[in-house]
Each structure stands twice: as C-alpha cells, then as structure tokens.
Amino acid sequence: MNLVDDDRTTTLPDGALVTDDELAAEALAADPEPCLDDARPFLEGEGAFNASTLPSWYMPAPMSGARRLGGWRRATAFTFIAALVVIEAFGLCSTYGQFI
C-alpha cells in the first residue's frame, strides 16, 4: 500500500483509492470475534508448509542413543561450563558482549 499523507488516502494494489474514513468504517463494521476454525497457514497454499508447529532449526529432535562423553572430553566440557558460571557470577557477562 502506498500512503499519501496530504490526501489521507491509500492506494490499493489494484490502483483504487481508499480514504481513511472508508478504512475506519470497514474496521468498525468488521466482526470483532471472527470464526477461525477453517484458518490455514499461508505457506500451506504455497506448498512450503511443514506439519510441525516449530521449525526444525529452532527445536531439533533429541538425540537418541548418543554416546556419553568420557575422559578428557567430559573434563573439558565441565571446565568450560564451570568457567562460564564463574564469569557470570562475577557479573562479567561473557556471553553477551565484550569484557569491560
């Protein structure tokens, strides 16, 4: 939409002009509680819809049957986690920016 401030009109994609008063009348006439039982995601019509509610990169599936860390790898992981906790305890906020 292209908004022209001096006329208080809006140009719709089909080229029609609509005034602010007409838009306000449409908004006031609309049902405040529409029935959305048959609503579908926009991407479903585009063929790119995934059945899951969250994308896979946001919450990946848990790893089943993964090996547990052992030896020096476990010690390294615990040392790293402990260092982050100590740094945060001193208020240095290492994960959000530069040390000051």
Does 83 fall in a domain?
A: yes
Does 46 fall in a domain?
A: no
Token digits of residue 60 = 């990946």
Token digits of residue 61 = 């599936």
Does 63 fall in a domain?
A: no
Collapsing DSSP to helix, strand or coil, 46 comes out as helix
Does 45 fall in a domain?
A: no
Q: What is the distance between the alpha carbons of residues 6 and 68, in angstroms, rounded to a whole number?
A: 67
Does 37 fall in a domain?
A: no
CB 94 within 8 A of CB 81: no
Domain that holds residue 25: 1-32
Does 94 fall in a domain?
A: yes
pLDDT of the residue at 42: 66
Does 27 fall in a domain?
A: yes
Instruction: Work out how many domains the chain is built from and give that number.
Output: 2
Is pTM, for the whole model, over 0.85?
A: no
Per-residue model confidence as pLDDT tens for the chain (100 residues): 444 445 577 777 787 888 888 888 989 999 888 888 887 766 666 666 556 666 666 766 677 776 777 889 889 999 999 998 888 888 776 666 555 5
Burial of 87: CB neighbours in 10 Å, binned 0-12, 13-18, 19+? middle
